[in-house]
Structure 1
Amino acid sequence: MRTKAQTAMQLTAMLTSALLALTIVSGTPSDAAAGETDAKALVKAMSDYMANQKSVSFAYDTSLEVVTKEHQKLLLASSGTMNMARPDKIRATRFGGFANVEITFDGKTLTLFSKDSNLYAQFEVPGSIDNLIEELRTKHHLPVPGADLLQSNVYDELMRDVVEVKDLGSGVIGGTECDHLAFRAKEVDWQIWIAQGEHPHPCRYVITSTQVDQGPQYSVQISDWKSGTEPNAQDFSFKAPTDAKKVDDPKQLIDIDELPANFVVGDTK
């Protein structure tokens, strides 16, 4: 049997949850407009800060949700590193349960190296990091982890098709106090946590696929953020390991995507 104290505590918790939900979804029009303006200003400040960094390096952890036909959610996790020198150099690694991959771009040549199979593919992609990301997405269907956060104008990329904005206050990611913002676009919901202070870099980025059954999420959490160090050109050149074999088609590389080959993509809503 519940005591009066237990009943009171449960009612208090329910009221607190209801008030929190009400606070998030309601408010006066002027408050909502001010919150939207402030949230967009925080993203713009992050975008400007990122664009002004000649070199950036960080570690990251990703989580990719997969939903089965029985509506069971499975989480695929991986970790990696990213080194970038604007305007045209990248070295990225990703290590997970299904893949161990390195991506190298020196401004002219892109190299995809599958460490487990000791196979690599190379092709010419002259131009900037922006151009590289676009080619990987559209031509090769190989997105770079957190690519939206690497482009020269992060603000325009993130705010495209946004229809709703929420400022959720502060949050702490990896010991860093952040501004927590939520956005709704036409096909996805996304959240971002931006470090407060003089270095407003992204600490966590979460995308929810609202057009896919059960709304699976993809998240990137960033740590060990560094910027401003002078990059070494050799850091972005690829040296093939002993016995590594070059292939002509990236499709010959085994399990370089975050979603393993044995997972079948189902229908959207």
Structure 2
Amino acid sequence: MNRATQKSFARAAIAASAVALVLSIGLGAPVALADEAEAKALFKGMSDYLGAQKTIAFDYDTNLEFVTTDQQKLALASSGAVTLSRPDKIRATRTGGFAEVEMVFDGKTLTLHRKDDNLFAQAEAPGSIDNLIDTLRDKYHRPVPGADLLTSNVYEQLMPLVVDTKDLGSGVIGGVECNHIAFRTEEVDWQIWIAVGDRPYPCRLTITSKLVAGFPQYTAQISAWKAGGEVAADDFSFKNQTDAKKVEPSDLPNMDELPDEFTPGAVK
């Protein structure tokens, strides 16, 4: 690119930034469109709906944004699918640029399968999906972002930590009208968009950390929502169709969406 072209691009970028700034000043910051009680009632309605579903299946796309120690902002994208049968069965897959993974739980045995390395590990973890989420986080240090939305009572799981609630009105996600609610805790800010109507499922979840430099942000957008009889049957057993090698859970490579070669900003 020659110098004249570079200057042209620079002027265009500055102009675009100026327009964005003017629009943001003109529009002002978002304000709460309803009181806190109504916002919490919307979230409680979603929680009750999710907890009442015996079977659920959906696809999702994630975006993990973070700022590196050299102050470069990056974003990593992944896609996957989840099928669960309450109280104690789940299958989840995720494919990204650095890992292709599968998690299967049949109520007794948890299987973690890293497909790109053709390795898998298993552990006995009898109990509910709620217990499994706690086990992954506390025992195996493999927390699943947004996994609290899969618990049997999302409201009781998340609301005790909330210190501020805002109803931001409505939005549209994938063509679906949604109620938009924002919550704050001491450690994270998070937003959720909930489908309007008699199926108030989560359409998008955004979590922003306040304790890490650069405020890394995780977003999961949900599509192809199914519940009840719409969900295809699944026996939730692990099928080793690729002759994967079994290893100990501690020997399984990193399955996170943020690979080891990326270093986020320091914890505040």
Q: Normalising by the residue count of structure 1, what TM-score does the alignment of the two structures yield?
A: 0.87
Does the Cα contact within 8 Å between 2:65 and 2:76 map onto a contact in 1? yes
Deviations 1:200-253 (A, max 9, x none): 00000001101211211011100000000266352x0011124311112x2322
Where does residue 233 of structure 2 map in the other structure? 232
SS of 1:192's equivalent? strand
Where does residue 59 of structure 1 map in the other structure? 59
TM-align CA RMSD: 2.1
Deviations 1:124-157 (A, max 9, x none): 0000000000000111111234201000110122
**Alpha-carbon spacing, 1:247–1:177, altered in 2? closer, same or farther (3 Å):** same
Post-superposition offset of 1:14: 6.5
Question: What is the count of residue pairs matched by the alignment?
Answer: 249
**Which stretch of the first structure deviates more once superposed, 60-69 or 165-174?**
60-69
Post-superposition offset of 1:72: 1.7
Does the Cα contact within 8 Å between 1:55 and 1:231 map onto a contact in 2? no
Q: Which amino acid aligns with 1:134?
A: D
Q: Which amino acid aligns with 1:260?
A: P
Residue 256 (structure 2) pairs with residue 261 (structure 1): no
Does the Cα contact within 8 Å between 1:65 and 1:76 map onto a contact in 2? yes
Residue 251 (structure 2) pairs with residue 252 (structure 1): yes
**Which stretch of the first structure deviates more once superposed, 129-138 or 213-222?**
213-222
**Alpha-carbon spacing, 1:10–1:122, altered in 2? closer, same or farther (3 Å):** closer
Post-superposition offset of 1:53: 0.1
Where does residue 31 of structure 2 map in the other structure? 24
**Alpha-carbon spacing, 1:244–1:73, altered in 2? closer, same or farther (3 Å):** same
Post-superposition offset of 1:17: 2.1
Where does residue 218 of structure 2 map in the other structure? 218
**Which stretch of the first structure deviates more once superposed, 175-184 or 238-247?**
238-247
Post-superposition offset of 1:71: 2.0
Residue 51 (structure 2) pairs with residue 44 (structure 1): no
Does the Cα contact within 8 Å between 1:85 and 1:231 map onto a contact in 2? no
Give distance in 1, aligned partners of 2:35 and 2:45.
Answer: 15
Does the Cα contact within 8 Å between 2:171 and 2:177 map onto a contact in 1? yes
Q: Which amino acid aligns with 2:260?
A: A
**Percent of aligned pairs with the same amino acid:** 61
Give distance in 1, aligned partners of 2:250 and 2:203.
Answer: 32
Give distance in 2, aligned partners of 1:262 and 1:161.
Answer: 32
Where does residue 79 of structure 1 map in the other structure? 79
Gaps of 5+ in 1: 1-8, 26-30
**Alpha-carbon spacing, 1:60–1:12, altered in 2? closer, same or farther (3 Å):** closer
Give distance in 2, aligned partners of 1:10 and 1:143.
Answer: 37
SS of 1:159's equivalent? helix
Does the Cα contact within 8 Å between 2:195 and 2:201 map onto a contact in 1? yes
- Superposed counterparts of 1:117-266, under 5 Å: 117-229=117-229, 232-234=233-235, 236-248=236-248, 250-266=249-265
Q: Normalising by the residue count of structure 2, what TM-score does the alignment of the two structures yield?
A: 0.87
Deviations 1:6-44 (A, max 9, x none): xxx9999576323xx2x617xxxxx8xx51011000000
Q: Which amino acid aligns with 2:233?
A: N
Does the Cα contact within 8 Å between 1:98 and 1:255 map onto a contact in 2? no
Q: Which amino acid aligns with 1:16?
A: G
Gaps of 5+ in 2: 1-18
